[in-house]
């Protein structure tokens, strides 16, 4: 029950709205800003001047439009100057990027992460990437913050990684360790990889026109990033979206979490490899091998893909009934599994989801691919700047 | 991406915030309003004067506080004067109430609903209740709108009841039929009974301090009202929360929705009565008889309650993993089933929900009892007035 804002708060809100608009949409004419934000030309002019003075946007002539008349000036985010560091700790990959305002990847590093590598060994590798990229940052650049995507449960309050069963971590203060390694004051914000992938696809990916989306991310583990009514669903502590531990099969396998028949046990990497008779293998390449073998007609691989696809559809139908989303996105290695088993998924959805809940739902693969987690981590890092540009600008 | 509001919008926002505060909290001192809303005394005075002139609040001396010094004036909602009609179409009950601003039940009517009664027969009964109550409304009263809670899936856009399997309705324009019966212009807002019960318990019930709650409502059917991050989760079309059709038992019974092993088939009225060997009975009284028999030591009833309680906990564990709520409320006849089987529910929750997701969750019974749906329907009716008091006041 907040009261309306003061004059100064309104100005800050307007600055944030304008900066966020060009951050999301890129170069935008003053005319479009005027109509989209519902402010008059002189207000847009004043706001743009303030943001330009702070080095966050610049104005310039548009590209040639071919139309007659004086063209409207174009406002662009300072993507080459204003940047964040975005890191991602996946089960199999470590990645780091320097991301410019507007979501431009300016620089990046990455390596395969050997499964089982602890936080003590992981964080220095990421810190080294950051230091390396930092050396070639142009002199007049402005660092606004950092974000980390982690394949684990992240406490919203302080970014503590509570549990990351598939990296083997529990109660790890990743952001603190990272800041200590770098010797930087400004803390890194931490989020879950599925949550941040959902955010990125919502801001600049396949779900920009969607306000109710579920991004199901899968590799060894399964988790979802959920956006409901246009806002990320985080839950009380920040742990919402643990759909991998929705029990779907009371007669199913024991799950690593201690329960039985979790969705993760039926559709995760192990389930596919086991069904395909390749339980000794692991990792995304092994999953791809099964999907490829199925495409080439290998009967056992086909049966495995069908079985996992059937359970994939089973769980998606549940989520469609619970959330009534307009978009479901399949990311991580689930992307490949979904493409190979779309018929099973659709069939389960039709049989199990209520007509009203599924009538507008679109099943999609990510537009941003594996960059989604990094771009989402960058959004986390930019958030403070976008909420209050002049206060947060260093 | 909205720009900040104009001066006039800020005033309207402030009027709404003040009115909403006294609507929710009742009589409030000017001092408390000043500090809670973060506005200065003169602004609070001006806003109160505007709302009082519109007949929405009144100021007066507080009750004797026993403290020295001049007491702060108290602002009260005009509960006896400003009112809404709230209706509820349950599987077994039809109810109608006149509800004053501030959530006070001023008048009410109700009757048992014979199962199978169609919309053509139901709506005139409700309209008759409204007409009857309307005759004794004091002359200077102000009607602000009406709301209807329906045990069915309600399209957000226009209040169309898409499917109400347990009343046997499909695609029924309840609000239109009701308005036509009454000959009133002002349309009734329609919502799902679980959604509105959740809203009421959030605004003035057991979950006022909870921003992430799940209200599981059960009778023949099972549905949930979900509030995530302080806002109702409605989904793309308004159908979110159909947790009764989350499949939990692939080997389970065929469900009325066409799927198999839905949560509803395992914990709904039929499941309990079947397990207790009383499948010929139906209705809330039959459910209570089983719960009572179990309490008295009837072995078959005890086994039935344990079995249903076990499945109740199974589904709640799934919802806790998916939403990370701080509060789960059991309403309708599930209230009694939950109380009788709390040990099974808690045991499943401990075995199946992730520690981080469940560590802060409280399991609760409703504070508002069966009035929750009516009070929620009233909230729906008051919403426009609370968003923009002077524009919406008639």
User: Closest Cα to residue A231, out of A207, A213, A209, A204?
Assistant: A213
> Is the pLDDT confidence value at B114 over 90?
no
Given B242, B314, B357, which is nearest A242 (Cβ)? B357
Q: What is the mean pLDDT of residues A42-49?
A: 94
Q: Is A9 helix (H, G, I), strand (E, B) or coil?
A: helix
Flag whether pLDDT at A5 surpasses 80: no
Q: Residue B75: beta bridge partners?
A: B28, B59
Q: Quick one: closest CA in A to B327, which residue?
A: A236
| DSSP 8-class letter at A5 | P
Question: Which chain B residues are within 8 Å of A12, Cβ to Cβ?
Answer: 4
Question: Would you state the pLDDT for residue A64?
Answer: 56
Q: Is A125 on the interface with B (CB under 8 A)?
A: no
- Per-residue model confidence (pLDDT) at position A69: 65
Do A360 and B1 lie within an 8 Å CB cutoff? no
Give contacts of A 162-191 with B, CB under 8 A: 162-163
Determine the pLDDT at residue B168.
81
What is the predicted pLDDT for the residue at A120? 81
The Cα–Cα gap between B266 and B255 comes to 9
- Condensed to tens digits (0 to 9), the pLDDT of residues A102-149 reads 999 999 999 998 888 888 889 999 999 999 999 999 999 999 999 999
Q: Which tokens belong to A9?
A: 């708060």
Contact residues, chain B, for A325 at CB < 8 Å:
235-236
User: Which two three-digit tokens encode residue A44?
Assistant: 């847009």
Q: Report the DSSP pairing between strands A142-150 and A153-154.
A: unpaired
DSSP string, B126-144: HHHHHHHHHHTS-TT-EEE
Residue A166 confidence (pLDDT) = 79
Chain A residues in contact with B249 (beta carbon < 8 A): 250
Say which of A236, A239, A356 has its CB closest to residue B162. A356
User: Quick one: average pLDDT of A75-100?
Assistant: 96
What does A155-200 look like in DSSP terms, one character per residue? -TTT--EEEETTTTEEEE-HHHHHHHHHT-SSPEEEEEHHHHHHHH
Please list every residue in chain A whose beta carbon sits closer than 8 Å to the beta carbon of residue B258: 351
| Least CB–CB distance from B248: residue in A236, A247, A257 | A247
To 5 degrees, how large is the angle CA B224–CA B230–CA B232? 40
- Residue B66, pLDDT > 90, answer no
Q: What would the mean pLDDT of B295-318 be, rounded to a whole number?
A: 98
> How many CB atoms neighbour CB A211 within 10 A?
16
* Tens digits of residue pLDDT in B5-56: 778 888 999 999 999 999 999 999 999 999 999 999 999 999 999 999 999 9
- Asked if residues A82 and A101 have their Cβ atoms less than 8 Å apart, the reply is yes
Residues of chain B with C-beta less than 8 angstroms from the C-beta of A153: 354, 356
Could you give all domains of chain A from N- to C-terminal order, each with its CATH number? 7-77 (1.10.10.10), 83-196+372-392 (3.30.420.40), 209-366 (3.30.420.40)
- Nearest chain A alpha carbon to B37: A3
Give yes or no for residue B250 having a pLDDT over 80: yes
Are B249 and A250 an interchain contact pair (Cβ–Cβ within 8 Å)? Answer: yes
- Across the range B65-91, mean pLDDT stands at 86
Does A54 have pLDDT greater than 90? yes
Between residues 230 and 259 of chain A, which touch chain B (CB distance below 8 Å)? 231, 233-243, 245-251, 257-259
Mean pLDDT of chain B, nearest integer: 93
Question: In the prediction, which pLDDT does A17 show?
Answer: 96
pLDDT of residue A392: 66
Q: In angstroms, what separates the C-alpha of A133 from chain B's closest C-alpha?
A: 32
Nearest residue on chain A to B153, alpha-carbon basis: A356
CB atoms within 10 A of CB B297: 8
pLDDT at A332 over 90: yes
Q: Cβ of B3 and A38 within 8 Å?
A: yes
The DSSP line for B246-306 is -B--TTSPBPTTS-BSBHHHHHSHHHHHHHTT-TT--SHHHHHHHHHHHHTT-HHHHHHHH
A30 touches chain B (CB under 8 A): no
Q: What is the mean pLDDT of chain A?
A: 93
Other CB atoms within 10 Å distance of the CB of residue B133: 18
- What's the ipTM? 0.95
Reported confidence tier of residue B392, pLDDT bands at 50, 70, 90: low
Which two three-digit tokens encode residue B121? 């027969």
pLDDT, position A107? 97
Which of A37-41, A204-208, B242-246, B259-263 shows the lowest per-residue confidence on average (mean pLDDT)? Answer: A37-41
Q: List chain A residues with CB under 8 Å of B24.
A: 1
Over range B332-361, report the average pLDDT: 97
Sheet holding B222-228, edge to edge: B231-232, B222-228, B213-218, B327-332, B362-364
Q: Which residues of B touch A357 (CB under 8 A)?
A: 235, 237, 239, 242
Predicted confidence at residue B72, as pLDDT, reads: 75
Interface test with A, best of B324, B327, B350 (most A CBs within 10 A): B324
Contacts of A361 in chain B (CB under 8 A): 236
Minimum distance, in Å, between the CA of residue A183 and any CA atom of chain B: 30
* Number of continuous H segments (helices) and E segments (strands) in chain B: 15, 16
Q: Has residue B109 got a pLDDT over 60?
A: yes
């Amino acid at each position: 029950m907040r009261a309306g804002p003061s004059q100064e708060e309104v100005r800050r809100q307007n600055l944030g709205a304008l900066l966020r608009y060009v951050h999301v949409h890129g170069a935008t004419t003053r005319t479009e800003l005027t109509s989209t934000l519902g402010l008059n030309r002189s207000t847009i002019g004043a706001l743009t001047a303030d943001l330009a003075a702070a080095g966050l946007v610049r104005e310039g002539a548009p590209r040639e439009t071919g139309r007659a008349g004086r063209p409207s000036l174009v406002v662009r985010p300072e993507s080459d100057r204003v940047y964040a560091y975005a890191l991602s700790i996946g089960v199999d990959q470590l990645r780091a990027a320097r991301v410019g305002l507007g979501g431009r990847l300016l620089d990046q590093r990455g390596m395969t992460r050997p499964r089982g590598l602890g936080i003590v060994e992981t964080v220095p590798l990421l810190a080294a990437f950051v230091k390396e990229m930092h050396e070639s940052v142009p002199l007049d650049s402005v660092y606004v913050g950092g974000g980390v995507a982690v394949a684990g449960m992240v406490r919203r309050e302080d970014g503590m990684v509570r549990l990351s069963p598939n990296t083997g971590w529990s109660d790890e203060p990743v952001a603190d360790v990272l800041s200590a390694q770098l010797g930087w004051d400004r803390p890194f914000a931490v989020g879950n990889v599925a949550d941040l992938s959902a955010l990125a696809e919502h801001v600049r990916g396949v779900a920009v026109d969607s306000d109710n989306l579920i991004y199901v991310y899968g590799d060894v583990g399964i988790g979802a990033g959920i956006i409901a009514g246009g806002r990320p669903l985080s839950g009380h502590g920040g742990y919402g979206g643990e759909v991998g531990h929705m029990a779907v099969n009371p007669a199913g396998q024991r799950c690593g979490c201690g329960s039985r028949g979790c969705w993760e046990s039926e559709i995760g990497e192990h389930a596919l490899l086991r069904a395909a008779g390749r339980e000794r293998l692991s990792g995304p390449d092994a999953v791809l091998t099964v999907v490829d073998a199925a495409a080439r007609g290998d009967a056992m691989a086909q049966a495995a893909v069908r079985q996992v696809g059937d359970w994939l559809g089973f769980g998606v139908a549940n989520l469609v009934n619970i959330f009534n989303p307009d978009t479901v996105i399949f990311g991580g290695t689930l992307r490949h599994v979904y493409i190979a088993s779309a018929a099973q998924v659709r069939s389960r959805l039709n049989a199990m989801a209520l007509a009203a809940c599924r009538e507008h739902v679109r099943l999609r693969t990510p537009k941003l691919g594996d960059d989604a987690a990094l771009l989402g981590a960058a959004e986390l890092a930019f958030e403070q700047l976008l909420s209050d540009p002049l206060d947060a600008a260093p």
